[in-house]
Chains A and B, each alone.
Chain A
């Protein structure tokens, strides 16, 4: 399920963030492309340094929802802050539209932040002394846009997130969910191209969280941003992600689509995350096709993106199998046997 267009928006190359007394000593210049990164991690540990992000590389494509997940302390926040350069990576490069963010001047960085990036924070990060409207206007205000224009724009995004009528409230008069809507509206006010969200829904109740996730998907359908989204909740990741990167102790262990993670976890850590996930909801028909079997005698067609959960009932009427098509082209066949095999290898009976 690679995204349809392959434009790389953000590219992160061998990024390291090391905390400690003298992190610079381990790297020559900006280059994070060390030969033996395991060896270096050991060295860091021995000298009392903390490798919050170690040799992280990935690409995020235009319009993609890229999720970084991992346990607490695994370096997720560190990574997303390296991407937005809220913290300075110790080594490596971060390319946004091909420009290395780590090399540009402070003034350029401010320009980038004003026009290209938006960010949402776990604890909302709202300014307590400003009203909802003023909070949302704030990024426009720092750009020097005049009052009427910025208020007009702020009202647009307020409608977008459904906060009409609360414009003059102060943050502490709002519920958590409402505050995060303000945070989202604020980050969207400047129409950013890339959107960073650091555990935006973790501080919310499960029910509200679910609602906000739907809201988020609705917004993304309209806006098509390039998104880096942090979470430690695998179910949330599954609902939202195009691709997921799993981090552990500062290292990216695996990057892949939800189904790839579930079907072929690289190690026990990843498997542990995916353990409780119902396979039938993850695996799609396209991923388990038997391309060798011919489609004689099979007539019913399903989309490659359909999950097993959807296609399994169809076997009642079509026990011989189903033809899988993608973009109108037949790409193979699934039979009940294939499905059973897939679920069995995933080691899960649900």
Chain B
């Protein structure tokens, strides 16, 4: 019987068959030809060493400049910290509460007060104020620099072409990586935190401000010009105020980034801040202590986020304008009055200046006890959970069924009959999909099947490079393909390939879970208002959390290891997936939905046949964010023992090895950028096809 083959455009399929063939050959030959598995060491280019040599020279020559900057910055820095330490705690709390009130009213004000009281009562006041001191010095620096950069690249196309890729790199190179050169240039001390967080926090400001300036409608600009504005008047009176909503979003994001980086910078020590409290107790496995300190960070993050977001809210800003000048300055006067009163009072009541030791409530030991009880009594449950995920999910992706299946893990050993069976199943699936669906899904099954059998880290580099490059080519054309190809070659020839694959593996494993779980949660939230309301604050909180903090709860229950990293990555990276899925599904054009309903779609058909395809580009953008978030978190999880590029960066940091740090950091950034470009170009194509662009 003749099978009628579906008519399709399969011209793009043939390169894939070629790649699969090459991969099969490589896998067959890999035991005989060593260079397929690992590039011979004499071919590895010692980029890291070169960087180190150059860096040494650079430091010797220009150290004085950076040390002078250090000296210069130490003034505002020490000033801010000294002021915050000197102010009696009730005065500081009063000031914060008033600012919170101005920003968004009573509820936030009360929350702020309680949060700060927590810091007082647990005895974390002093390190918290040190952290805030650094943050408050970094924010104006980052905002100022961001402002200038944004204006320059808005005005000049050429500057923009230079600035944009630098921003991309700054946001994707792991934070640890650029701590190293900063550390070497600026020397130890809290100023490193200021510099690092100003740099790290700058890009969101630049991006949002450029966006804001670009979004100013043409006729608003023209009306400004026709009013006879000079260039300067036009800029300050028309463009900046019109771009203000976006600028404020930038300030909010910059604030959160600054905090996040200040916390991370604690890793190099040198200042008695709250990040250091968490880190040092975490290293000593004093989880009760790190939890209590971690809560402080979480609270600071929430306060800063809510306050700066409150100022972003334009409607309130507008309401305020209707108040008379006296009414407007009322809260400020209240704040100053309260502060002054507390300062005077504290002269007579020392407890107001320094909270008395005896009143401190510090339940760390209780927590540790409880934790010990839980881990002792539920050890079986925890271990089963951990091992199940490891043996049946993580390890197959990492080293493949070929290596993971053994009597110890799966309870039986792999026979050749099973292998053949597996191959046949994959083949049949592929054929069926080719006939019934599309060649793409068929190829996807073959590739995934091969990957799961051999394991990501055991796949020779050649097939991997070919597959990624081909994917990049077919989604994004020559430019993305070139980027992917050179990026992968960079990783290969700088000798970080195997670490890179470890990172890719963990990231991939976490992203898959985010895709499934986050996607489902997003679908749920799009259909139920209750779910949406329930998930939103959780997402907000997770998103504004410094990465460090997310590690703590998982570390408490699962100790150091890959599983803890895996969970922490999911917890952080799942947020965009939920958000974008919900947003995408909720914003499918109303007419289309109505049309489908009038044709008699069941709710199920509506979701899968109508809404999903239309929302897919948006959902994929969420996936893109999820990948970027996962990579960012991956680096941090090096702290709790994940392997890969993050670990390399971390090692480089502790041995002040700029070369290794930068090369590994760049590798990480390249993974992020390649993934980003491929997904983005896919989305753009798809949106175009759907007419949504």
Contacts and interface: CB of A to CB of B under 8 A. Distances in A.
Given A111-B228, A117-B226, A129-B241, A142 B233 contact: yes
A123 B219 contact: yes
Contacts of A126: 220, 223
B228 A127 contact: no
B7 interface: no
B601 to A, nearest CB: 35
Of residues A113, A127, A131, A183, which shows the largest number of chain B Cβ atoms within 10 Å of its Cβ? A127
Interface string A136-173: 00110111000000000000000000000000101000
Contact of A86 (B226, B238, B322): B226
B228 A119 contact: no
Of residues B223, B227, B242, which shows the largest number of chain A Cβ atoms within 10 Å of its Cβ? B227
Contacts of B238: 127
Interface string A69-89: 000000000000100101000
Contact of B220 (A119, A127, A168): A127
Interface residues of A, number: 34
Interface in B400-453: none
A119 B230 contact: no
B388 interface: no
Interface in B205-257: 217, 219-220, 222-230, 233, 237-238, 241-242, 244
A139 to B, nearest CB: 4
Contacts of A168: 322
B228 A143 contact: yes
Interface string A87-126: 0000000000000000000000011011101110111111
Interface residues of B, number: 21
A123 B237 contact: no
B693 interface: no
Interface in B485-525: none
B219 A138 contact: no
A170 B318 contact: yes
Given A127-B238, A128-B242, A129-B242, A142 B230 contact: yes
Contacts of A128: 220, 242
Contacts of A121: 219, 222-223
A114 B223 CA distance: 12
A125 B230 contact: no
B223 A125 contact: yes
A50 B200 CA distance: 44
A225 interface: no
A143 B226 CA distance: 12
B327 to A, nearest CB: 15
Contact of B226 (A119, A124, A127, A141): A119
Contacts of A81: 222
A251 to B, nearest CB: 24
B249 to A, nearest CB: 15
9 contacts: A113-B225, A118-B226, A123-B217, A125-B217, A127-B238, A129-B242, A139-B228, A142-B237, A183-B223
Please list the 4 inter-chain residue pairs (A to B) with the smallest Cβ-Cβ separation, ordered nearest first. A114-B228, A125-B223, A125-B219, A139-B227
Given A114-B227, A138-B227, 9 more contacts: A84-B226, A113-B225, A113-B227, A119-B226, A121-B219, A125-B219, A125-B223, A128-B242, A186-B227
